[in-house]
Amino acid sequence: MPAFPLPRRNPSGRLAGATLLALVVAGCATGHAGTARVSAAGAPAVQGRGTLFVVGGGPQPPALVQEFVTLAGGSGRARIVVFAMASAEGATSGEAKAADLRTLGARATNVWVTREQANTDSVAALLDGATGIWFGGGDQSRLTAALRGTKTEAAIRRRYEGGAVVGGTSAGAAVMSARMITGDERRPGGDRPVKDDGFMTIARDNIILDAGFGLLDDAVVDQHFLRRKRHNRLMSVVLERAPHLGVGIDESTALVIEPDGRWRVSGASAVVVYDARRAAVTPAGTTLGATGMTVHVLPAGSRFDPRTGSATLPSGVP
């Protein structure tokens, strides 16, 4: 199935809305809308009834892709919209993902739009009836620049509140947070700068954040976590800023956030949870440090309840 055509411009520069095809699907997900609230970052966040499928980047095992399609309704029922504007490769990146999803029986459509286009009713209507939404990898700031605060983002929220699964990988995982890690820092290497940008320090006011989509507002997401050794980055954020809960997702691994808010781990590796909600943190103006921060290393099959802070390993050991 070809991707939806993008809006064309007429000579006046206006979008030709008639050239957009609506995403018309049967068997759309139903459910009560969630309650909107203000997130820790000050952006609107949602308490939805859908599922978040947050992948830490890298190769995606076939079983992981199949799990996403199953959550979206399965073969013949899943209706998935792919947004890949984070990629530097252009629309071809999203089309490749859509093609993979189609091989599993999903009706998948690649939608590549500018911010101006994303803020039109015609593009927002492409989400009508979608049971799954996918954000591709690349630069998360590109994706939020295109969608955040637009009618299309609002439509994504409505689908999530209505029961759809929202997934993403790498940059598409980072955008899930209300507070989004951008990938940049103010002082690479700290007092002893180094040539490579390895997030070498745990420090205040160093990690640069921006507003994400706020679908997950009680934790900050980091990705490629074990593979790229991003512990210092996430610890700095968790100790310094609310909500003081962070999850680092490794490659080829998904954090699945279920409709009741509980987390489970799926895939090839593990996620690391930093919970500093009860930690004692050094005061402003001093070296960043803490006692009492809880760390969980959770392989596939593990579960975590962010409301209680309790974790369970696959063997059932608490």
State residue 32's pLDDT score.
29
What CA–CA distance (Å, rounded) separates 246 from 294?
11
CATH of the domain at 203: 3.40.50.880
What CA–CA distance (Å, rounded) separates 17 from 126?
12
Q: Which domain holds residue 147?
A: 45-303
Per the domain annotation, does 262 fall within a domain?
A: yes
Per the domain annotation, does 104 fall within a domain?
A: yes
Per the domain annotation, does 166 fall within a domain?
A: yes
Number of domains in the chain: 1
What CA–CA distance (Å, rounded) separates 79 from 64?
17
Per the domain annotation, does 312 fall within a domain?
A: no
Per the domain annotation, does 214 fall within a domain?
A: yes
Per the domain annotation, does 14 fall within a domain?
A: no
pLDDT in tens, 21-60: 333 222 333 332 333 333 444 444 445 589 999 999 999 9
pLDDT in tens, 111-166: 999 999 999 999 999 999 999 999 999 999 999 999 999 999 999 999 999 999 99
Please, is 10 exposed, middle or buried when counting C-beta atoms within 10 Å of its C-beta (0-12, 13-18, 19+)?
A: exposed
Per the domain annotation, does 21 fall within a domain?
A: no
What CA–CA distance (Å, rounded) separates 236 from 46?
26
- Taking residues 273-302, what's their average pLDDT? 97
Helix runs in the chain, H state only = 62-71, 91-103, 115-118, 121-124, 140-147, 151-161, 171-174, 231-240
Q: What is the pTM of this model?
A: 0.84
Per the domain annotation, does 5 fall within a domain?
A: no
